[in-house]
Chain A
């Protein structure tokens, strides 16, 4: 009996933590999304779905969605593609493999804000190293002063930071493919590409999907890198969803609209995850 109780005692801190710091804020922010609420002016009137409808009417909201969509699709695709490519290369016997693997994974240990500030320096248009080097061939790129180039800068930094994540997972998956499968396949074909396409990739597909999902979830939450690199500018060209959400809630204390924004994002991410897992389940069933 005592043993039965004690496990609950040990579980209690974790349960309290989840209740107070996850469940309660989640439920309360859902409630706030149906009210006008500005910090300092208290919870105002119940407005139903008005906060959500306001968002759909706001050009800034749609701009942030567009920026997020571009960033998520482009950055995550490149990261997964490069991660897979590097994992494939590193899964075979090459010289200095251990060294390169360590160097290659090091960006993972940085934070988004630090990478953003690093970007401010390396993409500096008049004093930065990249434009300095480009100067030798008579080129200058408006890395941060043009909306589209600012997006390129963000994606480049993000790819640098997150490709190792895909790489590590996919490398582990590739290394766990039984050697016998390759030996058997080599009797039928000598094409590396065919072996990859028909043996390696289908075998590591579950790991690939998990890596992709985790990257998608993380990418939808992108904030630190962009805020420290461009603050959403020039203009609002790189104002991604979470930056707009931060400004709405934390900067302007408009928790009603801010909560609605957060829930919309949650909804979108949930739909994507459910869709993904649904399709995966179908494949494996």
Chain B
């Protein structure tokens, strides 16, 4: 299956690479600058993870080389070894790379040294010699991930957040709606608004042939292999169990850095995600991200909550059987929410949904050891200009997800359905997809992004806890209690006072 994916991707990359992105309007300063052939003999070395999200680095890199005369060398590393590769380069001062296609949760580590390991791009942003991307097109939730202490460090690229994809055609089937009501006692909501509805619907559609293809289908598709990105599923799903208008903290108590991860709310979420994992194939426990998507794309799962790639991948008629059949919505919310700081359950009159920017939001940052910071910024900014960014957004295999104003439809943004249709989309799928992302990113209630040193370790500890819970190795409570201890251990090892200070800074804690 993986092989098929890779062959498909390579094919698409080769075919579409030829027509990648369109020309853009250069400033006169840039024209004059390029006329001096400033990057002759310059090679920008970029370290990236081995995933779809690195594809534009190659494709647009060739275009940038053609435009500027510079060279780009992209080095790919598997996700499991990516963080250590970056920080070995930075901590030892080897400076082998000019830029890193970083995850936003690495920021804490970049700022763990007295002098940050990455450089601010603000002076370059103001320089008309470089490709001009408009910072106003970056939504505030995303801007937070690209800045530190109010200064820009990251160049916009990918916009990660998880939304719930569903098979609209199946949920709208009158016969299935009738059967659902008979079983659960209420009308089948399209889409599910609460976690309870989501669980009920996933349960209802699991284990029988609802698409009449001769084999049993599933309620949900997730990827849960340890060492991959399963813990993000938990974070997106668990956010409304804990975050409410009365509490915005999910990870740590900002008063004392005490982990909140084993609170009653977190445990309830873990119990529910374990239930949810039973509404898909057992094999999900060993699946990586692509395999999780594949089940949904093959048309064998009703739900999949994941990143923007899936909506775009669904448009590829060669790989997808769900083109024109999908809906998308922000992650389901809850009425009953636990406040892990006050340690009380609260009930709300309306459903509280929580937005998330969960994931890497993979983007380029420039190493402080870069030998060519100008060329490096030039290359990164070239990928961030509207024309190239939109081209990336609309193709699932680029791994670059939409999140800037020109990717959304009115009234939220400036794109049109036709813009997407021209990139090969089915018109039916455009609006729910772009609206879901806009509503997710602009929700005033957001799960605060973990941006402190050791971010990778905290996430991995949660990853293990999730793995142990879904595999039945430990109960959800035991798994999260263990995760709590791991969090404490990591915090103590990195220095509790320092971690608390950086955590407060990263969440703009006002006391």
Q: Which residues of A contact B (CB under 8 A)?
A: 36, 38-41, 59, 120-121, 124-127, 142-147, 150, 227, 230-237, 247, 250-254
Contacts and interface: CB of A to CB of B under 8 A. Distances in A.
Given A40-B112, A40-B113, A234 B84 contact: no
A39 B112 CA distance: 12
B282 to A, nearest CB: 5
Contacts of A231: 80, 225-228
Interface string B130-143: 00000000000000
Interface string B488-511: 000001100000000000000000
Closest 5 CB pairs of A and B: A233-B226, A231-B227, A125-B283, A144-B286, A145-B285
Contacts of A236: 226, 464, 467-468, 473
Contacts of A237: 471, 473
A142 B282 contact: yes
Given A39-B88, A40-B113, A126 B283 contact: yes
Nearest to B482: A59
B155 to A, nearest CB: 24
A127 B1 CA distance: 6
Interface of B: 1-3, 80, 83-84, 87-88, 90-92, 112-113, 224-228, 281-286, 295, 454, 456-457, 460, 464, 467-471, 473-474, 482, 493-494
Contact of B226 (A124, A232, A251): A232
B467 A40 contact: no
Chain B at the A interface: SS class? helix
Contacts of A232: 226-227
Contacts of B282: 125, 142, 145-146
Contacts of B456: 251-252
Q: Tell me which of A145, A252, A254 has the highest count of chain B C-beta atoms within 10 A of its own C-beta.
A: A145
Nearest to B470: A234
A38 B469 CA distance: 30
Contacts of B471: 145-147, 233-235, 237
Contacts of B1: 124, 126-127
Contacts of B469: 235
A39 B224 contact: no
B473 A252 contact: no
B468 A235 contact: yes
B286 A233 contact: yes
B225 A251 contact: no
Contacts of A144: 225, 283, 285-286
A251 B84 contact: yes
A95 to B, nearest CB: 37
Contacts of A234: 224-226, 285-286, 467-468, 470-471, 473
Nearest to B227: A231
Given A127-B1, A144-B285, A234-B226, 18 more contacts: A39-B87, A39-B92, A40-B90, A59-B482, A124-B1, A124-B286, A126-B1, A145-B285, A146-B285, A150-B286, A233-B467, A234-B225, A234-B286, A234-B470, A236-B226, A251-B83, A251-B84, A252-B456
A219 to B, nearest CB: 22
A65 to B, nearest CB: 16
Contacts of B91: 39-40, 253
Nearest to A153: B286
A126 B493 contact: no
B457 A252 contact: yes
B493 A38 contact: yes
Nearest to A238: B226
B286 A145 contact: yes
Contacts of B464: 235-236
Contact of B493 (A145, A146, A251, A254): A254
B487 to A, nearest CB: 13
